[in-house]
Amino acid sequence: MIKLLIDFIQFLNTIAPLLVSLAVLTLLAALLSKSIKKHATVYYIAMAVPFAMVAIPFTGRLLGIELFNFNRIPFLGGILRDYIHMGTLGFPLLIIIMYMGALNPKNSTVKKLLGIRKELSIMSGFPILTHSLIRVTNSFPNALKFFTDNEGYMESARAINALGAGLTSFSFVLGILMLALFIPLWVTSFNSVHKRMGSVKWKKLQRWSYVLYAMLFIHAMCIQSGSMLNPREREMPKPAIEVTATTSETHNRNNRGNSELRENADRSDSGNGNKNAVQPIADSILRTEAVRPAVRNGHQQGQGFADIKVDAQIRRYIHTASLILIFGSYLYLRMRKARMKKK
């Protein structure tokens, strides 16, 4: 039963990672609310360390200095990649902060989260700055080229749909404006800056957060829409859902066999330049092995959530639906709260 539950959570995290991260972070924030309030500086430092591990080597490479890449460390590398892609930490934290202004403050859980809203805002800044540092540097120049030299962009990019390329490029350009708006909102969340500004000026500035939320929704939707119109080669349409009857043990055995087979193919390529002849045979063997039922003690093993593979395009549709659900429900709750205040 526990294994089935873990498999189900992993499956949900595969097809709807934003919803899973949002649920997990909301639960953790509520449970740790007293600790976050009491030891806020410790949490800030903990969130700042991964930012430094990404920012320092990245800045060094831009300056021609090769530093150690922390992404190579197994567990730590996963955390740093989550910082860069934003979907696991930065984006869900922003959504939690956003929702606090739309929910009923009399609710005990909402009250806990409202008490640490400022702290969560500061903590969210570190993964957001990490994401911005990498994405702005790597994606913005090429995205700007779409608008300044469209023909040159379409020739060099692997885009098959001009509208999709335009949406993706627009999302990256919009990201610059979002960063310019986020930084003052983030900096003024610190107590020392807040006190110097005064409550009146601070509240006026913080109203721009609503603009940031709207831009965040547009940014995310444009990325998803652009990717659906211009799927990567490895994301080209396949059967929507493929279910195999292999267990996790069989998966591990297959993965080891896959690696050995590919290594053999690579060695053949280096020896006689015949990789093109070997690879189709290897792929055929791998596909056959993947769908072979696992048999133990004369009985075929049952199917689990870990055996369900969802096509990349289907996952993008689910991501898009998640965004509409999250921001649509926020808008409804915010408008309902405003009507109640008027009454």
Residue partners of 41: CB distance under 8 A and separation at least 6: none
Position 243, amino acid? V
- Please list the residues that pair with 242 across neighbouring strands: 309
**Structure-block tokens of residue 270:** 């280096």
Distance CA 111, CA 30 (A): 9
Q: Is the pLDDT at 241 greater than 60, yes or no?
A: no
Q: Is the pLDDT at 212 greater than 60, yes or no?
A: yes
Binned at pLDDT 50, 70 and 90, residue 276 comes out as very low
| Number of Cβ within a 10 Å radius of residue 59 | 13
Dmax of the chain from CA atoms? Answer: 81
> Contact at 8 Å (CB) between 15 and 310?
yes
Distance CA 312, CA 320 (A): 12
Q: Is the pLDDT at 260 greater than 90, yes or no?
A: no
Binned at pLDDT 50, 70 and 90, residue 8 comes out as confident
Distance CA 251, CA 249 (A): 5
pTM of the prediction?
0.74
**Chain-centroid distance, C-alpha 163:** 23
Q: What is the mean pLDDT of residues 10-29?
A: 87
Residue 184's pLDDT is what?
93
Q: What is the DSSP string of 1-39?
A: -HHHHHHHHHHHHHH-HHHHHHHHHHHHHHHTHHHHHHT
| Number of Cβ within a 10 Å radius of residue 298 | 5
**Structure-block tokens of residue 315:** 């996952």
Q: What is the mean pLDDT of residues 219-223?
A: 93
Residue 305's pLDDT is what?
63
Residue 290's pLDDT is what?
40
Distance CA 333, CA 222 (A): 24
Distance CA 265, CA 273 (A): 10
pLDDT in tens, 145-170: 889 888 888 888 777 888 988 999 99
Binned at pLDDT 50, 70 and 90, residue 113 comes out as very high
Position 86, amino acid? M
